[in-house]
Structure 1
Amino acid sequence: MNRTLVLSILSDDKPGVVEALANTIAEHQGNWLESRMSHLAGKFAGILQVNVAEDQLEGLRNALSQLRASQGIEVVTSEAAEAQQEGQDITLQFSLMGNDRPGIIKELSQAFASQHINLDELQTSCSSMPWSGDPMFTAHGLLHIPADVDLDQLQDQLDEISDNLGVDIELGAVEDSVAE
């Protein structure tokens, strides 16, 4: 029987981090599935889903934990949760753009949590506005919305946040490029 692990990875950004992970996983006959990895503030950070035979599970966990001492790569492992039935739930994407300021994600995440909406994906960035040079914050993500959520009420709540924070928030159907 195969088991699925979710790995959280943090290291100084340097060549060979992905290779060290891939070699360790391959040495234990693991299969690298999905991953999201990025360079952030001089660090390499990522999440990774791995499928591995049950008899290799403990060896892989031990080998991954040894990467910290041998190569400075911190790996936290967690066994994947069983998938839940989705029923009639819907998936929408959202985007947010506006002047950067503290509290944007706090307000947005509170609105989603108050409606029992799961934030499936979140990508944020901060850059300069081309016309003024002011800091601009953008966020994009996928929402898993229970069927009983009133979408008009959700939109009203997001419009209120948008007005209070001076940002633009849009909800829409999932585009193919976002869902992949």
Structure 2
Amino acid sequence: MNHLVISCIGPDQTGLVDTLSKIISKHQGNWQVSSLHHLSGFFAGVIEVAVASEKSENLISELKAISGLSCQIEMAEPNLPDVVSNLVLEITANDRPGIVQEVSSVIHHQSGNLLKLVSSTNSAAHSGQELFKAKVQIAIDDKSVDALINALENIADDLMVDISR
């Protein structure tokens, strides 16, 4: 069994997910994990598919031939141990250029491994100020959690961090 990580981007159009799922199903692939988004008029997605070794090449060829969609496909090692996230952070701050770099740098320098980052911006209810919001999953040694939270909160006075495990 092969595990394929498929990254796709192209102008959004009705039926792209249906097209992807039909091709994967046609080759008896098992759609396992995905993150699909509409971003500024584009479809962008990452999908993990498990497929029999003998069907991989045809599946890859057909995915790469989808008109208007650019797909990059990599073979993953399915026997790697699962990484367990032991910390989920919800971050809110006034939006500004470089905030993702600041947050990711602090996580890196505190020996955390950023596993997942989902972010958005929207207007604050009363002020209309643009707010940055992110939900971050991190693997980190329990002894380093307090230092990480401290370092994150020291990025700026307006940055708030909510923690769950």
Structure 2 gaps of 5+ residues are: none
Letter in 2 for 1:129: A
Among candidates 132, 145, 153, match of residue 151 of structure 1 = 145
Structure 1 gaps of 5+ residues are: 174-180
The structural deviation recorded for 1:85 is 6.6
Among candidates 158, 165, 170, match of residue 162 of structure 2 = 170
- The match for 2:33 is 34
The structural deviation recorded for 1:115 is 2.4
Among candidates 67, 70, 73, match of residue 69 of structure 2 = 73
Q: Distance in 1 between matches of 2:144 and 2:19?
A: 47
Letter in 1 for 2:148: L
Q: Deviations over 1:55-94 (max 9, x none)?
A: 0111111111111xxx2111111112342375xx761100
* 2:116 counterpart of 1:121: yes
Write out aligned runs for 1:8-23 (5 A): 8-23=7-22
TM-score normalised by L of structure 1: 0.84
- Asked if 1 retains the 8 angstrom alpha-carbon contact of 2:110 and 2:147, the reply is no
Q: Distance in 2 between matches of 1:102 and 1:77?
A: 31
Write out aligned runs for 1:18-97 (5 A): 18-67=17-66, 71-81=67-77, 82-84=79-81, 91-97=86-92
User: Which of the two has greater helix per residue?
Assistant: 1
Aligned length: 164
Q: Secondary structure at the match of 2:23?
A: helix
Q: Deviations over 1:144-170 (max 9, x none)?
A: 1135x522222221221143xx22122
Q: Distance in 2 between matches of 1:150 and 1:135?
A: 31
- Please identify runs of 4+ aligned residues in structure 1 that moved more than 4 A: none
Q: Distance in 1 between matches of 2:111 and 2:62?
A: 38
The structural deviation recorded for 1:4 is 0.6
Q: Distance in 2 between matches of 1:137 and 1:28?
A: 41
State the identity %.
32
Q: Distance in 2 between matches of 1:141 and 1:102?
A: 18
The structural deviation recorded for 1:142 is 0.9
Q: Distance in 1 between matches of 2:21 and 2:7?
A: 14
* 2:96 counterpart of 1:101: yes
TM-score normalised by L of structure 2: 0.91
